[in-house]
Amino acid sequence: YPHRFCTREYFFTYQWLGIAAAGGPEKPGCASPPLSRRQQDLCEQKPELMPAIREGARLGLQECRSQFRHERWDCRSPPAARRGTAALGQQLSSGTKETAFVSAVTAAGLVHSVTRSCSAGNMTECSCDVTLRHGGSASEGWHWGGCSDDIHYGMSFSRKFLDAPLKNVTGRSGSGLVAMNLHNNEAGRQAVAKLMSVDCRCHGVSGSCAVKTCWKTMSSFEKIGRFLKEKYENSIQISDRLKKKLRRKEKSQRKIPIGKEDLLYVNKSPNYCVEDQKLGIPGTQGRECNRTSQGPEGCNLLCCGRGYNTHVVRHVERCECKFVWCCYVRCRRCETMTDVHTCK
Ligand SMILES: *[C@@H]1O[C@H](CO)[C@@H](O)[C@H](O)[C@H]1NC(C)=O
Ligand SMILES: *[C@@H]1O[C@H](CO)[C@@H](O)[C@H](O)[C@H]1NC(C)=O
Ligand SMILES: *[C@@H]1O[C@H](CO)[C@@H](O)[C@H](O)[C@H]1NC(C)=O
């Protein structure tokens, strides 16, 4: 099974995500365990980046959970293992397309959070994109102004922080996995770059918009997540045996180039139906499903044909509120009953 590829170094490439775990110390030093030796060194050189690193991990994982909330694999670890990061690391070292998504979305999260930190003026090495100052087009009635996000520093930091440790993993076994990871990290960063957009604000007499000030801005992270989810759905299986460069597994398609924004995987995914502690798979037992939906969140698909339990949940809320002169609001208490279905 995929784990035969797993090396110690490889396993640790995901450990840094543990930094996002809730309940950790408020201000951990760089020596906090989830970071690899090299990442700790990077952090010590720039301790002011620590909040952005933590935020990047949080952003990436939160978006992963949101994009996958209706699917059998919901970007979580089994309850018993949830406190540690080991289980997540285990799932992630299996080289599946779920791994690909997590690599991409967390590499993108790091770019996003570091760039935000640059634009907020929190960093000495980077700031707003100053090359755009004074530019624009007077004849078309707009000019650059405000703070344009400059993603260069964030891109290069994300590369140093996430890719460099992987490049040190040598040996034949797992080389396809490592190449896959490097590619998917970069695909995530490229998504942030590709989805940069321009925002403008109007000035002029009574909002006439005679003059506009415009600035470049990163897309919301939710939009980046949606983009990457689409890439996940169209991800490409590659051969684990490298011949100088990445190759598609499907021989008949090898002529079709692999784009830098494509997500790649080496191993087919398990079905994620039943819990497997060893592989860090939580299974779908106890997940809430939708009885009428034909989609992935429908009870049929989500529960893998095992059926579901139904219980009635009572909601009490304030309702029929009326404003009473003067000055308060009077409401009634309403009870509603809803059926909730959970997988057996
Ligand atoms: C910038 O630094 C301030 C003060 O340390 C902090 O409150 C804020 O969250 C930081 N903003 C970003 C985007 O990092
Ligand atoms: C790679 O590994 C060697 C020895 O294990 C170490 O000295 C070096 O700093 C590592 N390089 C990176 C980029 O992690
Ligand atoms: C369940 O799925 C149906 C059909 O897709 C949808 O109309 C409904 O809002 C869903 N119910 C819940 C509770 O999400």
Q: Which one of 257, 283, 309 terminates a domain?
A: 283
Are 65 and 74 in contact by the 8 Å Cβ rule? The answer is: yes
Identity of residue 154: G
Cβ atoms within 10 Å of 1's Cβ, excluding its own = 10
- Residues 66 and 51 reside in one and the same domain: yes
Q: Does one domain contain both 102 and 49?
A: yes
Ligand 3 neighbourhood includes 293 CB (under 6 angstroms): yes
Q: 267 and 290 share a domain?
A: no
Asked if residue 326 and residue 258 are part of one domain, the reply reads no
Query: What is the per-residue pLDDT for 326?
Result: 81
CA of 7 to the centre of ligand 3 (A): 43
**Number of compact structural domains in the chain:** 2
Which structural domain, as residue segments, surrounds residue 298? 286-344
pLDDT band (50, 70, 90) for residue 172: very low
Q: What is the pLDDT of residue 92?
A: 57
306 belongs to a structural domain: yes
Beta-sheet strand order (sheet of 136-137): 136-137, 142-144, 211-217, 197-203
For residues 298 and 307, the answer to whether their CB atoms sit within 8 Å is: no
Cα of 299 vs centre of ligand 2, distance in Å, is 49
317 and 264 both lie in a single domain? no
pLDDT at 195: 97
* 38 CB near ligand 2 (under 6 Å): yes
Q: Label residue 81 by pLDDT band (50, 70, 90).
A: very low
Ligand 1 pocket, 120 CB below 6 A?
A: yes
Does residue 293 sit in the same domain as residue 324?
Answer: yes
DSSP one-letter string for 59-100: HHHHHHHHHTTTSSS-S---GGGTTSSHHHHHHHTT--HHHH
Distance from residue 328's CA to the centre of ligand 3 (Å): 36
Average pLDDT over residues 18-40: 64
- Atom nearest to 55 CA in ligand 1: 14
- Whose alpha carbon is nearest atom 5 of ligand 1? 122
User: Which residue's CA is minimally distant from atom 13 of ligand 1?
Assistant: 117
Q: Is the CB of 32 under 6 A from ligand 1?
A: no
Cβ atoms of residues 318 and 332 within 8 Å: yes
Determine the pLDDT at residue 170.
Answer: 53
Q: What is the structure's pLDDT at 206?
A: 76
Ligand 2 and 164: CB distance under 6 A: yes
Q: pLDDT grade, residue 173 (50/70/90)?
A: very low
The residue out of 255, 283, 311 marking a domain boundary is 283
69/67 Cα distance (integer angstroms)? 6
Contact 295, 326 (CB under 8 A): no
Ligand 2 centre to CA of 160 (Å) is 13
Distance (Å) from CA 304 to ligand 3 centroid: 19
Task: Supply the pLDDT for residue 178.
Answer: 81
Is 206 within a domain? no
Looking up residue 316, the CATH number of its domain turns out to be: 3.30.2460.20
Q: Are 181 and 290 in a shared domain?
A: no
What pLDDT digit, counting tens, does each position of 100-150 carry?
Answer: 999 999 999 999 999 999 999 988 889 998 888 778 787 788 888 888 999
- pLDDT in the model for residue 4: 36
Domain end marker among 248, 263, 283: 283
